[in-house]
């Protein structure tokens, strides 16, 4: 624990530690942090490096907002050409928040080149594509965790 605490308190060491061990990255969020995740350049940089170093990037519900602005070392968006899912436009409308969230997540992911997959409202739906694992809504959280474990076993 002391080692971890020391690393966390030393500027830049968390980033170095993360990049050395390439653990899976996981983003979970409600609608509130949606804009914060999308606009967080440090988060995008760390997640891109994890992915570029053969790591796993995962997110559930509004968490894929953290994926929309991640660019890889080749300049492409992380989600470009990949099967991705997240909280859908229909789910956003069903809870009456389509005019409250900073952007419609499904629409933005598609604009970034994602092959968006979805199930009906509130259904468990997980998509895994090239070490990117996404879940549609809170009902998908456990399945995202299980998919991350499955993917980690493939990397060993």
- Residues with a catalytic annotation lie at 61-62, 92
Question: Distances from the Cα of 144 to the Cαs of 24, 31, 69, 85, in angstroms?
Answer: 12, 18, 21, 11
Planar angle of CA 7, 9, 15, nearest 5 degrees: 55
Which phi and psi angles does 35 have, rounded to 5°?
A: -70, -35
Query: Do strands 25-29 and 57-61 pair parallel, antiparallel, or not at all (unpaired)?
Result: parallel
- Are 111 and 84 in contact by the 8 Å Cβ rule? The answer is no
Q: How many angstroms separate the CA atoms of 126 and 144, rounded?
A: 6
């Amino acid at each position: 624990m002391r080692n971890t605490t020391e690393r966390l308190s030393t500027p830049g060491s968390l980033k170095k530690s993360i990049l050395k061990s390439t653990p899976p990255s996981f983003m979970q969020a409600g609608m509130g942090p949606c804009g914060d995740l999308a606009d967080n350049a440090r988060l995008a940089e760390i997640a891109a490096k994890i992915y570029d170093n053969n790591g796993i990037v995962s997110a559930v519900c509004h968490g894929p907002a953290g994926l929309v602005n991640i660019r890889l070392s080749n300049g492409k968006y992380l989600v470009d050409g990949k099967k991705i899912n997240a909280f859908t436009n229909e789910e956003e409308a069903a809870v009456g928040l389509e005019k409250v969230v900073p952007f419609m997540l499904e629409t933005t992911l598609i604009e970034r080149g994602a092959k968006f997959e979805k199930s009906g409202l509130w259904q468990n739906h997980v998509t895994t594509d090239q070490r990117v694992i996404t879940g549609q809504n809170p009902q998908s959280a456990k399945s995202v965790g299980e998919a991350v474990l499955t993917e980690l076993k493939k990397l060993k």
